[in-house]
Amino acid sequence: MSDPVLVADIGGTNVRFAIAEAAGGAIAISKPQNFRAEDFETIRDAADAYLESVEAKPKRACFAVAAPVKTAEIKFTNSHWRFQPKEIETALRLDGLRVVNDFYALAAGVDFMPADAFVTVKDGKPDTGAPVLVIGPGTGLGQALIVPTPDSGRVIVATEGGHVSFAPRTDEEFEIKKFIAREHPRVSVERILSGRGLVNIHRALCAVEGTQRVSLQANEITKAAIEGAYPIAVKAVDMFCTILGRVAGDAVLATGARGGVVLGGGILPKIKDVFLNSDFVEHFTEKGRMSEYVGAAPVKMIITEEAALYGAAASLQLN
């Protein structure tokens, strides 16, 4: 059993801490707790509060952050928090602190999560020598590749695939793109497939259909869709799932990820039943003469809240 390490999944609104231990090629997560960013002045204050509550003194840590990590200071777009890893390392009396992108962590943790952390979306016959695509909508549209190496290892490659241009297919999708383009001249798939993107779809559909818009946030749209409260909300979520299928299938074509697809992010678990009954799979595989190529890739979805914590612990092993 390895020494316990501190792991954290830090977003713009919440941070989730836990203690992780590795043994026999497996990772165990214990004592998870959620904190709201607005309740603490700094990430150090939140980390101190967590460590005091669990009475743990880990010597190493890994923070998975929803922010760029290639600078000396980590800055969050949707939070007042910012921190310098070296300062946190010293303040928490750590021998080492690694900071990684949250989707890098998600990809790193796939092989370490328990079986019940996933649900099957689509069966397939994976090519074990091909990359695995990890993709999912949350605050943005994250994407990473798990690339096998000749020595039976793997390399994690975080990409910016969420920022490729959105390619509408139906007349209605063209109208939605034109609506979004009034505010954002370049419409990326992230403008559609994210929390903000779901709001964009809902707003655009209201305008296209001439319906008085009920102002809803992303979580309210998904809740309304699940309950069938607003027809436009139902339609927005259905379109969201359809476009995600098409984008994920295109990403398999672009990357050769016939090893499979893992869907992550914070939105899909909240609409699990709606998503599993959507047209995602049909549009994922509908690639003309390349349909068989894409159809070989199995698809599964992460449903555990602890996914990035497993990934943060796994990232320490990849360091």
Q: Name the residue ranges covered by the structural domains of the chain.
A: 5-110+306-318, 115-303
| pLDDT digit string, tens, across residues 158-167 | 888 999 999 9
Mean pLDDT calculated for residue range 73-98: 88
| Average pLDDT estimate for 125-152 | 92
pLDDT bucket at 255, cuts 50 / 70 / 90: very high
Written as six digits, the tokens of 192 are 């559609």
H helix runs in 228-290, sequence order: 231-255, 272-276, 280-285
C-alpha to C-alpha distance for 91 and 298, rounded to whole angstroms: 44
Max CA pair span of the chain: 61
The pLDDT, as a whole number, for residue 228 is 87
Does residue 37 carry a pLDDT above 50?
yes
Span 5-110+306-318 CATH architecture = 2-Layer Sandwich (3.30)
- Angle formed by the axes of helices 231-255 and 171-181, nearest 10°: 90
Say if residue 294's pLDDT is above 70.
Answer: yes
Contact 61, 50 (CB under 8 A): no
Task: Kindly give the residue spans of alpha helices, DSSP state H, lying in 114-186.
Answer: 171-181
**In the predicted model, is pLDDT for residue 117 greater than 80?**
yes
CA nearest to 66, candidates 113, 136, 2 = 136
DSSP 59-72: SEEEEEESS--SSS
pLDDT tens across 217-242, in order?
A: 999 999 999 998 889 999 999 999 99
In the predicted model, what is the mean pLDDT of the chain? 92
- When mean pLDDT is compared over 24-33, 73-82, 198-207, the highest value belongs to 198-207
Please state the rounded mean pLDDT for residues 89-113: 93
Look at residue 318 and tell me whether its pLDDT is greater than 70.
no
Res 61: pLDDT? 96
pLDDT attached to residue 77: 65
* pLDDT at site 202: 95
Percent of the chain with pLDDT over 90: 76
- Enumerate long-range contacts of 25-32, CB under 8 Å, 24 or more apart: 26/112, 27/109, 27/112, 27/310, 27/313, 27/314, 29/306, 29/309, 29/310, 29/313, 31/56, 32/305, 32/306, 32/309
78 pLDDT tier (thresholds 50, 70, 90): low
Mean pLDDT of 298-317: 93
Secondary-structure breakdown of the chain: helix, strand, coil percentages, each rounded to the nearest 5: 45, 25, 35
Question: What was the pLDDT predicted at 1?
Answer: 46
Do 5-110+306-318 and 115-303 fold alike per CATH? no
Cα 112 from Cα 77, distance rounded (Å): 29
Q: How far apart are CA 301 and CA 245, in angstroms?
A: 13
Supply the pTM of this predicted model: 0.90
Class of domain 115-303: alpha beta
Residue 213 has pLDDT above 80, yes or no: no
CA nearest 8: which of 318, 319, 306? Answer: 306
- CB distance 165 to 187 below 8 Å: yes
Q: Where are the beta strands (DSSP E) in 49-191?
A: 60-65, 74-75, 82-83, 96-101, 118-122, 132-137, 141-148, 154-158
Q: Is-contact 168 178, C-beta < 8 A?
A: no
